[in-house]
Amino acid sequence: MEISTNNSVWQKDRAHVLHPQTDFSSFHDEGSQVIESAKGVHVTDTKGRKLLDGIEGLWCVNIGHGRKEMAEAISKQVMQMQYYNPFGHSTNISAAELAHWLSCNAPGELNHVYYTCGGSTANDAAVRLVHYYNTIRGLHRKKKIISRNYAYHGATYVAAELTGIHATKNSFDRVAQDIIHHISAADMYAKPAYWSETEYCDFLVQEFDDRIQQLGPDNVAAFIAEPIMGAGGVLIAPASYNKRMHSVCKKYDMLYIADEVVTAFGRLGEWFASENIYDYHPDI
Ligand SMILES: Cc1ncc(COP(=O)(O)O)c(C=O)c1O
């Protein structure tokens, strides 16, 4: 591959960075906005424009940019021990302490932590665990996962298939299409005007139940959902939707995977949204 000889950051980026979720027809001419620095809720680009970081980086800068306390904590940890692996019977103090803290603050009886590198790998791991769980229960056919249109669950192979923003999969090879199925998004903006909020919720819950019946309850292992859909448009479900979908899962011996990549760790004012805001206890 030809290496860019132009030294501007903009050119280097255009020549060498493979951006996710990008329209390459215009990217070649326009390139990227280059963010140079960030402080609090703002980012500044190389043209000197100060911009409000409305989606917190990519939902992950929940305490704001440039926090001295965070820099100091990271520095202290790196100097003490920057990494050690958790394979087999090996652990480290931070991994154990954080898992304990998470267990004390996670919804319901959730009390085990499996560390991953991000949201996509967390969702891939969740699907593997669900499958493994049903295998050891002898339920070898109970492997299907129900997700929703407009859901965003990540960009690894299985997480991309769980994702319900279907256009992002155009032209890519697909995996797990036989086990992953999508139902409607829960989106109050899409509620027909002639339905009350409760009627809309009834429709969504019935659609879920019908899909499980259609696929066969013995074949359906889990439901995955963001308490509030993030990338799909910040879509808020009707009141009691999350709790009622959880009840349907319990009725059919299904697990409920709450993808709280965007809603947990204080973004909605609580450590986790599922229990504290929506009053249900996910299984994963
Ligand atoms: C709800 C949700 N799940 C999963 C992911 C994927 O996370 P990551 O980009 O860390 O793989 C995202 C990313 O924005 C997300 O919004």
What pTM was estimated for this model as a whole? Answer: 0.95
- Please give the single-letter amino acid code of residue 151: A
- Under 8 Å between Cβ of 33 and 22: no
Average per-residue pLDDT for the chain: 95
Q: 232 in ligand 1 pocket by Cβ < 6 Å?
A: no
Å from CA of 196 to ligand 1 middle? 32
Rounded distance between C-alpha atoms, residue 70 and residue 67, angstroms: 5
Residue partners of 176: CB distance under 8 A and separation at least 6: 157, 158, 161
Give the three-state DSSP class for 60: coil
List, for residues 149-189, the tens digit of each pLDDT value.
999 999 999 999 999 999 999 889 999 999 999 999 999 99
**Do the domains at 9-68 and 116-276 have one common CATH topology?**
no
Phi, psi for residue 183 in degrees, rounded to 5: -115, -175
Class assignment of domain 9-68?
alpha beta
pLDDT, residue 23, reads 87
Class assignment of domain 116-276?
alpha beta
Å from CA of 229 to ligand 1 middle? 11
Q: 118 in ligand 1 pocket by Cβ < 6 Å?
A: yes
What ranges do the domains of the chain cover? 9-68, 84-111, 116-276
Q: 163 in ligand 1 pocket by Cβ < 6 Å?
A: no
Phi, psi for residue 50 in degrees, rounded to 5: -95, 120
Which secondary-structure segment (H or E) carries 75? helix 68-80
List, for residues 114-158, the tens digit of each pLDDT value.
999 999 999 999 999 999 999 999 999 999 999 999 999 999 999
